[in-house]
Amino acid sequence: MNAPHNVLDVVKVNKSFHDPVTVPVLKDVSLSVARGEFVSITGKSGCGKSTLLYILSTMDTDYEGELKIDGEPTHGLSGTRLAEIRNEKIGFVFQFHYLLNEFSALKNVMLPGLKLARKSAAEVEQRAMELLKDLDVHDQALKMANQLSGGQKQRVAIARALINDPLIIMGDEPTGNLDSRNSAIVFDIFKKIAAEKTRSLLIVTHDNDFAARTDRNIVMDDGRVLL
């Protein structure tokens, strides 16, 4: 299956916040992300880059315009179907780790894989261990999530994003809450993923050094894509 289409196609997306007065946050945003591309989005605080990212992640459905993920139009799909798309095709890394504290690091990584249920629990566990090993946190696998350090948590979260071999990994300031050493580690991990050329990355960041080292940097200002 040589997918001819882009991983992500956005055509003329508009969005406004209505509370308390109508404020447009995204204005005719159009962009595409090709397979294997490492793309960053930068822009000033409040320019709408995070808002755009959450629309792209299918979690925010309150917008006008068209969004295709892997060629599939998402507008009007049911919440359950969108959840399936997120589960299968999108890996998400947040600024604040966002692991489930009640579960071990390993279980956190496994959960989306178990949800997808394409592999047996044993296979998912094996894959999760491999990912943790790749990210050098396998010795923390059985610790509870809240016993890990910030850098470790973010690496576990990246492993979780990778568990279902998604088409695209989205990050919302994934290094924003990390010290420079850990930021470098996370960036290297992203770089490694991008180098494999099988998964695209779309990272929202305000770190210009980070953005400069990606394949393509999309700059946003006041709800518009500048570059």
Alpha carbon distance 36, 47 (integer Å):
26
Alpha carbon distance 63, 223 (integer Å):
13
Distances (CA, A) of 197 to 51, 108, 190: 27, 26, 11
Query: Residue 25 CB, nearest distance to other proteins (Å)?
Result: 12
60 in contact with other proteins (CB under 8 A): yes
**Could you say which of 15, 35, 49, 86 contacts other proteins (CB under 8 A)?**
86
Cβ closer to other proteins: 43 or 112?
Answer: 112
- Please, which of residues 182-211 interact with other proteins by CB under 8 A? none
Distances (CA, A) of 26 to 75, 86, 210, 225: 17, 22, 24, 9
- Evaluate whether 2 touches 8 at the Cβ level (below 8 Å): no
**Could you say which of 40, 87, 154, 205 contacts other proteins (CB under 8 A)?**
87
Cβ closer to other proteins: 22 or 80?
Answer: 80
Nearest-CA neighbor of 154 among 216, 199, 92, 214?
A: 92
Alpha carbon distance 161, 147 (integer Å):
20
Q: What per-residue string of b and e applies to 129-149 under the rule 16 or more CB within 10 Å gives b?
A: bebbebbebbebbeebbeebe
Beta bridge partners of 201: 38, 169
- Evaluate whether 159 touches 128 at the Cβ level (below 8 Å): yes
215 in contact with other proteins (CB under 8 A): no
Cβ closer to other proteins: 66 or 88?
Answer: 88
Cβ closer to other proteins: 27 or 98?
Answer: 98
- Please, which of residues 95-154 interact with other proteins by CB under 8 A? 95-96, 98-103, 107, 111-112, 114-117
80 in contact with other proteins (CB under 8 A): yes
Query: Residue 51 CB, nearest distance to other proteins (Å)?
Result: 8
Query: Residue 97 CB, nearest distance to other proteins (Å)?
Result: 10
**Could you say which of 50, 66, 138, 219 contacts other proteins (CB under 8 A)?**
50
Cβ closer to other proteins: 185 or 204?
Answer: 204
**Could you say which of 16, 28, 66, 88 contacts other proteins (CB under 8 A)?**
88
Both structure tokens of 126: 């094996």
Q: Which residues bind other proteins (CB under 8 A)?
A: 50, 54, 57, 59-60, 79-80, 82-84, 86-88, 92, 94-96, 98-103, 107, 111-112, 114-117, 160, 164, 172
